Amino acid sequence: SGPETVTPTGAETGAPKTANAQQGEYLTTAHGARLSNSDQSLKAGARGPILLQDHHFREKISHFDHERIPERVVHARGTGAHGTFRGYGTASKISRAGVFAKDKETPVFVRFSTVLGSRGSGDLARDTRGFATKFYTDEGTWDLVGNNMPVFFIQDAIKFPDVIHAGKPHPDREIPQAQSAHDTFWDFVSLHTEAQHHTIWNMSDRGIPRSFRMMEGFGVHTFRLIAEGGKTVLVKFHWKPKLGTHSVTWEEAQLINGADPDFHRRDLADAIEAGAFPQWELGVQVFEDNEDQTFQGIDLLDPTKLVPEELVPVEPIGLMTLDKNTTNFFAETEQVAFNPNNLVPGIDVTNDPLLQGRLFSYLDTQISRLGGPNWNQLPINRSHAPVNDMLRDGMHQTAVHGGVAPYRPNSLDGGNPFETPADERAFIDFPQPVAESVKERKRPQSFEDHFSQPRLFWLSLSEVEREHTAQAFTFELGKCWDENIRIRQVRNLAAIDPDLGRAVAQGLGIPEQEPAETPAKDVEPSAALSQVGKTWPT
Ligand code: HEM
């Protein structure tokens, strides 16, 4: 017989099932001794000093001293809720993942977030919103870690530290706390034509959602679905809110943020408490898994591009309902660890170079954020499918693993754990041809067009939405101290659309600019440097 199934509860040692649940009637120390007084420290006489011998004082203060864990390096500000996903069965013909089966109900946990502000920042910042969903499926946990915008700032994950360093508050004064009016952000954006598409979404009304309940979600990258029998398709995931997509204006956002910086988290929690459960339909745009992975000239591996829904409609595949608030924000919303690596049989990644980098980053950051490699054992992160991973020991290990042979093959634990044959619902990495020449630090030619899609977005806006967008660019760039940055970005806007470039130039009181011609990579570093100049007043 093999090792016993691991139950990370400590039950094997005779300890209570739930660790330190704080449910007993009497106040105790952490090791269970009852206390008579937790209000006065042990002193040498009534007027002190406090004695080092006061074990209760030291335990209480020392534990408090270590209550905080690092906030997420991005998406620090967020709020979560539990719910259920019910498959429509429509995706079963394109994916063998059980989560999509007709009427199959799967528990989920969702965390909505802003990207750039710190954990205590205001909810109504102009920023992208995270929309991360953990599906606790019978076949393992699937995380769809998306945003409320369908495209991203950069095309290659190696530039993620760059865009985040530029977007986070200035290193000297830590101002501003969110993506709003600062030189480093606009310096980066103006030097990166690839960032224009995501930026125009941010500057549009989409940048300030009315409510998490009224927000779309996007998987952004193209994923690969694998059907029973092995046929594959490429898909883009979309969440469509039943309440529709709504925003607030900049002026409304200022008032709301001032009166109630918790507005979005309060709105979500209040709605759920009142029984007005928010719902989203999950849908997919489906593309043929062709050799070059393009659709009508759009490179599906380029995360700065979308495929218009007029060309490929979103097919609904299931419904998510959020119906339960958290009871412990720390244990659920803070400790949840989303990870694009969490895939299940029937859902796989593609070679999108942004997604490929994410597959490394989340696992890596959670080792430091959650103090070691065992975060999968935290209750919110536990798989609802049986786990036998042969991972052992490590910081904050709470499981008591049985057996003596955590390796394969072995002849001591009865050969356990067994591998699942590929055709019996194991996860299989879908085989993909690679280029003949490997090891190239290059961007493909098909990633070079940076203006036609922001233009498409601009042209899709109504007149009032265009006004808001031009006003947002004007306001934000107006707060830039460096005139070169302002001019460089207005040239990018002119390349998106002459009307946009003109409106923002007028708003800023500068002459109309010629459209930018070259992607930023073609700007000579020395020329770029000489344009940067002084970025902050002394
Ligand atoms: C966190 C989405 C790109 C690194 C998050 C979260 C979301 C998200 C929703 C918050 C998860 C939560 O609520 O706990 C996205 C999307 C991206 C993207 C949609 C692009 C399409 C990247 C890239 C990297 C990255 C390129 C790095 C190479 C991180 C890290 C965290 C994070 C380190 C913090 C995770 C944690 O501490 O638990 N991202 N992200 N992201 N993201 Fe991304």
More confident residue, 247 or 443: 247
Joined tokens for residue 83: 């719910």
Q: Does 361 sit in the ligand 1 pocket, CB within 6 Å?
A: yes
| Residue 18 clears pLDDT 70, i.e. is over it | no
Nearest-angstrom CA–CA distance, 413 and 427 = 24
Q: Does 100 sit in the ligand 1 pocket, CB within 6 Å?
A: no
Nearest-angstrom CA–CA distance, 6 and 392 = 11
Atom of ligand 1 nearest to the CA of 220: 21
Q: For the chain, give the percent of residues with pLDDT over 90.
A: 82
391 secondary structure, DSSP code: -
Question: What are the residue numbers of the active site?
Answer: 75, 147
Joined tokens for residue 32: 């269970």
**How far does the centroid of ligand 1 lie from the alpha carbon of residue 366, in Å?**
11
**How far does the centroid of ligand 1 lie from the alpha carbon of residue 362, in Å?**
7
- In angstroms, what CA-CA distances link 320 with 100, 248, 371, 448? 12, 24, 32, 37
Q: What angle do CA 472, 456, 292 make, to 5 degrees?
A: 130
504 secondary structure, DSSP code: H
**How far does the centroid of ligand 1 lie from the alpha carbon of residue 6, in Å?**
30
Mutation probe of ligand 1 site: the residue of 118, 358, 369, 376 with most atoms within 8 A of C-beta: 358
The two most distant CA atoms of the chain are separated, in Å, by 83
Handedness of CA 81, 87, 93, 96 (dihedral sign): positive
| Residue 367 clears pLDDT 60, i.e. is over it | yes
Q: Does 217 sit in the ligand 1 pocket, CB within 6 Å?
A: no
Nearest-angstrom CA–CA distance, 192 and 454 = 13
Atom of ligand 1 nearest to the CA of 219: 19
Residue 88 has a pLDDT of: 98
Band of pLDDT at residue 181, cut at 50, 70 and 90: low
Band of pLDDT at residue 17, cut at 50, 70 and 90: low
Atom of ligand 1 nearest to the CA of 75: 10
Nearest one of 85, 167, 132, 112 to 362, comparing CA atoms: 132
Distance of CA 285 to the CA centre of its chain: 21
Nearest one of 346, 355, 400, 391 to 372, comparing CA atoms: 391
Residue 537 has a pLDDT of: 33
| Residue 525 clears pLDDT 90, i.e. is over it | no
- Does residue 107 sit in helix, strand or coil? strand
Q: Does 75 sit in the ligand 1 pocket, CB within 6 Å?
A: yes
**How far does the centroid of ligand 1 lie from the alpha carbon of residue 144, in Å?**
11
How many Cβ atoms sit within 10 Å of the Cβ of residue 12?
14
| Residue 389 clears pLDDT 90, i.e. is over it | yes
Residue 11 has a pLDDT of: 46
**Span 81-104, pLDDT tens digits:** 999 999 999 999 999 999 999 999
Atom of ligand 1 nearest to the CA of 355: 26
What is the DSSP track for 259-323?
A: H-TTHHHHHHHHHHHTT---EEEEEEEEEE--TT-EETTEETT-TT----TTTSPPEEEEEEEEE
Helices assigned H by DSSP within 70-180? 160-167
**Span 322-361, pLDDT tens digits:** 999 999 999 999 999 999 999 999 999 999 999 999 999 9
Mean pLDDT of 59-69: 96
Stated pTM of the model: 0.93
**Span 195-219, pLDDT tens digits:** 999 999 999 999 999 999 999 999 9
Residue 180 has a pLDDT of: 58
Handedness of CA 65, 68, 70, 74 (dihedral sign): negative
Residue 530 has a pLDDT of: 36
